């Protein structure tokens, strides 16, 4: 009825098929009574529809790839900015502020206020700061959004020192509570950057916190140099030929037996 109401004499349509799925429809019509679409014209029309569909799909993929490259570029720039503007000022500020207070919660709160006021909104930093009493092995710490360090016990058990607050410079105000742990003689404290758990192999699999924890547990009681070499070798072997995505830093501290 719609064809009749519009006074159309002939019409044809072909699906926009990109060799995988139908993404649209190509349509043509004519109200001229002298026109009559033939089978050969329909075949050519269908071929044209297929070419258009393939071209549209390629254009869409090209747009998606361009957007991905743009995002990768922006993320890389943000990573470089955070590594060379913010972090370089974080440690001197932390040292300066630490002299006036032994309260880690207050220290990180004041550090956050200074950094938030002095940096742009896209910049922030994770932070783990602790006070260790070598005589007793008592550790007080604040984990501001950093990867959870592990305390590896003499029997191989690994306790994670989870986050106690947000990354610094992320928000104007926040709460950073202090955590506590105790290192017995022979216990190992392992701190690391996200370049270890977020290391990717050629199959797009990440190394992961669980693999690192299990490896550290298996190395309990070994000299710190051996632990260091074993972890770095395992990460390198896991990554294989995949490009490095971030820096790899590992800090090990053992209380003397």
Whole-angstrom distance, CA of residue 141 vs CA of residue 176: 10
Tell me which of 65-69, 71-75, 204-208 is least confident.
Answer: 71-75
3-state secondary structure of 38: coil
Token pair recorded at residue 42:
């329909």
- Residue 78 scores a pLDDT above 60: no
- Residue 73 scores a pLDDT above 80: no
| CATH 3.60.40.10 given to domain 101-254 | yes
CA 189, 166, 177, 161: dihedral to nearest 10 degrees?
-20
Residue spans in the chain of domains classed CATH 3.60.40.10? 101-254
Buried b (16+ CB within 10 A) or exposed e, 14-32: bebbbeeeeeeebeeeeee
- Residue 79 scores a pLDDT above 90: no
Quickly state the pLDDT bin for 76 (edges 50, 70, 90).
low
pLDDT value at position 98?
A: 79
Tell me which of 2-11, 29-38, 61-70, 83-92 is least confident.
Answer: 83-92
Token pair recorded at residue 4:
């009749």
- The terminus-to-terminus CA distance of the chain in angstroms comes to 92
> In which residue are the tokens 């710490």 written?
141
Which residue would you say has higher pLDDT here, 69 or 140? 140
- Beta-carbon-side half-sphere exposure of residue 234 (alpha carbons within 13 Å): 20
pLDDT value at position 159?
A: 96
What mean pLDDT do residues 203-217 have?
Answer: 94
- Residue 117 scores a pLDDT above 90: no
- Residue 66 scores a pLDDT above 80: no
pLDDT tens-digit readout, 241-254: 887 767 889 999 99
What mean pLDDT do residues 119-134 have?
Answer: 87
Determine contact, residues 150/158, Cβ cutoff 8 Å.
Answer: yes
Residues 6+ apart with CB under 8 A from 237: none
Whole-angstrom distance, CA of residue 41 vs CA of residue 35: 12
Mean pLDDT of the chain: 86
């Amino acid at each position: 009825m719609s064809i009749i109401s519009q006074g159309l004499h002939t019409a044809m349509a072909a699906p926009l098929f990109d060799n995988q799925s139908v993404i649209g429809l190509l349509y043509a019509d004519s109200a001229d009574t002298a026109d009559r679409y033939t089978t050969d014209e329909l075949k050519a029309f269908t071929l044209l529809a297929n070419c258009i569909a393939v071209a549209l799909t390629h254009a869409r993929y090209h747009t998606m790839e361009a957007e991905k490259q743009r995002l990768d570029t922006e993320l890389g720039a943000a990573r470089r900015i955070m590594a060379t503007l913010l972090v370089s000022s974080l440690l001197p500020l932390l040292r300066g502020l630490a002299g006036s207070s032994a309260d880690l919660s207050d220290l990180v709160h004041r550090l956050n206020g200074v950094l938030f006021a002095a940096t742009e909104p896209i910049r922030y930093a994770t932070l783990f700061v602790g006070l260790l009493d070598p005589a007793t092995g008592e550790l007080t710490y604040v984990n501001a959004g950093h990867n959870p360090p592990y305390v590896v016990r003499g029997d191989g058990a690994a306790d994670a020192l989870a986050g106690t607050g947000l990354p610094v410079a992320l928000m104007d105000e926040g709460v950073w509570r202090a955590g506590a742990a105790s290192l017995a003689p022979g216990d190992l404290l392992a701190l690391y950057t996200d370049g270890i758990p977020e290391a990717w192999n050629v199959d797009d699999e990440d190394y992961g916190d669980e693999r690192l924890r299990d490896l550290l547990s298996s190395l309990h009681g070994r000299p710190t140099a051996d632990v260091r070499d074993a972890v770095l070798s395992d990460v390198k072997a896991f990554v294989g030929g995949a490009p490095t995505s971030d820096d790899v830093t590992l800090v090990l501290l053992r209380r003397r037996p």
